[in-house]
A and B are shown apart, each in its own frame.
Chain A
Amino acid sequence: EPEVTQTPSHQVTQMGQEVILRCVPISNHLYFYWYRQILGQKVEFLVSFYNNEISEKSEIFDDQFSVERPDGSNFTLKIRSTKLEDSAMYFCASSEQGGTSNQPQHFGDGTRLSIL
Chain B
Amino acid sequence: AQSVTQPDIHITVSEGASLELRCNYSYGATPYLFWYVQSPGQGLQLLLKYFSGDTLVQGIKGFEAEFKRSQSSFNLRKPSVHWSDAAEYFCAVGGYNTDKLIFGTGTRLQVFP
Size bracket, chain B contacts: 20 to 34
Given the interface contacts A100-B100, A101-B32, does A107 sit within 8 Å of B45 by beta carbon? yes
User: What separation, in Å, do the CA atoms of A35 and B90 have in the docked complex?
Assistant: 14
15 A-B interface contacts by CB (under 8 A): A35-B101, A41-B105, A42-B106, A44-B103, A56-B100, A91-B44, A100-B34, A100-B94, A101-B32, A105-B46, A107-B44, A107-B45, A108-B43, A109-B42, A110-B43
Residue A75 lies at the interface, judged by CB distance under 8 Å to chain B = no
Given the interface contacts A100-B32, A101-B94, A104-B49, does A109 sit within 8 Å of B101 by beta carbon? no
Closest 10 CB pairs of A and B: A100-B94, A48-B99, A107-B44, A109-B43, A43-B103, A45-B100, A107-B43, A56-B99, A108-B43, A42-B103
B interface residue numbers (CB < 8 A to A): 32, 34, 36, 41-46, 49, 51, 90, 92, 94-106
User: What separation, in Å, do the CA atoms of A93 and B100 have in the docked complex?
Assistant: 11
Residue A99 lies at the interface, judged by CB distance under 8 Å to chain B = yes
User: What separation, in Å, do the CA atoms of A64 and B104 have in the docked complex?
Assistant: 26
